[in-house]
Amino acid sequence: MLLKLFKKYLAKKSEDSPFPVADSSSRRDLRLFLYNTLSRTKEEFRSIKKGYVGMYTCGPTVYGYPHLGNLRTYVFEDVLKRVLQKNGYKVNHVMNITDVGHLTNDRDMGEDKVEREAQKTGKTAWEIADFYTKIFKEDIKNLNIIFPNTFCKATDNIKEQIEMIQTLEKKGFTYKTTDGIYFDTSKVSDYTKLSGQNLEALREGARVEINDEKRNPTDFALWKFSKPEEKRQMEWKSPWGVGFPGWHIECSAMSVKYLGEQFDIHCGGSDSISLHHTNELAQTESATGKKPWVNFWMHGAFLNMDGGRKISKSAGDIITLNNTFIEKGSSPLVYRFATFSTHYRKPMEWSDDIAISAKQGLDNLYSKISNLGNKVGKINTEWRDKFMSAINDDLNMSQALAVLNEMLKSEFSKEDKLATAYDFDEILGLEFKNNTKEIKADKIPDEVQKLVDERSQVRKDKNWAKSDELRDKIKELGYEVKDMAEGIEIRKI
């Protein structure tokens, strides 16, 4: 009877998840676990609809170049999406573009970042937003980040934002001040549930801004009025007067529009937890009346400068994909690879040394894979399971890379190793197929390859003197040959 019940339980489990439960042959747990900021624990991931994940990730504010910190968050989100896909889920990914309403002070004071940049440069706000949206898209393409199914701009969805504010107004969550319509956070009993912060501490933190008309320091703007003395370029009519939406309402309105009133995953950088996402959550659940709005909240830790200094978009020393990698002749994928060394929930400190060692590490990996030849065999399931259990353990990418390296060193055919490496690359996104061919074609001339093959033959015959002689000849041609456990490695000196 017990056995029957257990079998039934297992059958039910594998029905819920498109990926098999624990594999009895390897005894490896292949279930997907993700850290949920809301519960502050690693939880087994379950989607609302079988085999389908709705995922919303907060996108860029398009007034300046994305820096390596922003890009770290987008790479983490891309890995998450690939891991979900590898687990058999169809992912519907929506990302917003903030082109209006994000003020220089995150708590709804100061100037609109996009309008300010327009004034500084003499361009229109629309031109600024278009220009930096284009740069952002180029960067994520260069990082081999899979594009979202939907990119949505705040300025294209003003109607939806106004409608959500009207719903909040009808339900009694809003009030009017001289500069806008505000959300009354005291009406939400679980306002701090995402950050887990003490409400008093949060109120204290929010008190630094001077806005005497707010009922509570944590209250935030839903709609801001255009100031009579300044002519804004981006402004719209609303039931409350001409103005523009507050920063948080766009994500609530657009995620509900594209993913529904309840969906699976919402992501962003860790700075979003106590402000942007806390406010998104409060207003959305108040508007729809449905809880939970989002099942899994996931946040990427910050990338900071040496010594923990914050990267700032305005300081002039902004580190971008272009000035740190592309202009220096490095592949942007080196940055993608570099981010894998630190778990996404741990802060990372940037230094030039990281760029240098990541470049060496990736070149090394490409050359090992090049040396496997170009015949693609079968995926080795034992190694595949080891890799899956690393990535399914809350995206443990450094462990996943360790598995890849061990796999390359282990004893089985080159063809199957290549197939297995290509399979891992569906998560890593390092484009093994393109880059390894390039290395083979560009870097190892026929003359060198012939000497390498000859050397392999004389080594089989244990003719060490001839082998050394050939090694020197190869060196004279600018190449180094190394005998590794997994085969021969040829590198340019």
Which of helix, strand or coil describes residue 170? Answer: helix
Does position 302 interact with ligand AMP (CB under 6 A)? The reply is yes
Give the span between the Cα atoms of 427 and 404, in whole angstroms.
Answer: 12
Q: Does residue number 58 form part of the binding site for Zn ion (CB under 5 A)?
A: yes
C-beta closer to ligand AMP: residue 70 or 295: 70
Binding site partner of 246, from ligand AMP, Zn ion, none, Cβ cut-off 5-8 A by kind:
none
Q: What's the angle, vertex CA 329, arms to CA 328 and CA 335, rounded to 5? A: 80
> Of 139 and 250, which CB lies nearer to Zn ion in the complex structure?
250
Distance of alpha carbon 395 from alpha carbon 258, whole angstroms: 26
* Residues 19-58, mask of contacts with ligand AMP (x by CB under 6 A): ---------------------------------------x
List, as own/partner pairs, every contact residues 318-327 make where C-beta atoms lie below 8 angstroms and the sequence separation is at least 24, other chains included: 318/64, 318/65, 318/67, 319/67, 319/68, 319/350, 320/65, 320/66, 320/67, 320/68, 320/139, 321/66, 321/68, 321/71, 321/139, 321/142, 321/143, 322/65, 324/68, 324/355, 325/355, 326/142
Can residue 282 be called a binding residue for Zn ion (CB under 5 A)?
no
Percent composition of the chain: helix, strand, coil (DSSP 3-state, to 5): 45, 20, 35
Site for ligand AMP in 269-288 (CB under 6 A): 269, 271-272
Q: How many residues line the site for Zn ion (CB under 5 A)?
A: 2
The radius of gyration computed from the CA coordinates of the chain, to the nearest angstrom, equals 27
303 in contact with ligand AMP (CB under 6 A): yes
Closest CB to Zn ion among 156 and 454? 156
Partner touching 251 among Zn ion, ligand AMP, none, CB below 5 to 8 Å by kind? Zn ion
- The arrangement of strands across the sheet holding 150-153 comes to 150-153, 90-97, 52-57, 263-269, 294-300
CB 403 within 8 A of CB 386: yes
Round to whole Å and give the CA distance between 16 and 215. 46
Which one, of 44, 39, 43, 57, lies nearest residue 263 by Cα?
Answer: 57
| Using rule CB under 6 A, residue 72 touches ligand AMP | yes
Q: Which stretch binds ligand AMP (CB under 6 A): 222-230, 264-272, 329-337, 384-392?
A: 264-272
Shortest distance, CB of residue 280 to Zn ion, whole angstroms? 6
Beta carbon of residue 370, minimum distance to Zn ion (angstroms, whole number): 42
Q: Residue 98 Cβ, how far from Zn ion at the closest point, in Å?
A: 8
Query: What minimum distance in Å lies between the beta carbon of 166 and ligand AMP?
Result: 26
Q: Is 311 in the site for ligand AMP (CB under 6 A)?
A: yes
Q: Does 391 sit near Zn ion (CB under 5 A)?
A: no
Alpha carbon distance 205, 107 (integer Å): 11
> Could you say which of ligand AMP, Zn ion, none residue 113 binds, taking C-beta under 5 to 8 angstroms by partner kind?
none
Look at the block and give the residue holding tokens 């993700």: 34
Please pick, from the candidates 54, 60, 243, 245, the single residue that binds ligand AMP as defined by CB under 6 A: 60
Binding mask 227-256 for Zn ion (x = CB under 5 A): ------------------------x-----
Residue ranges in contact with Zn ion by CB under 5 A: 58, 251
Residue ranges in contact with ligand AMP by CB under 6 A: 58, 60-61, 69-70, 72-73, 98, 268-269, 271-272, 300, 302-303, 311
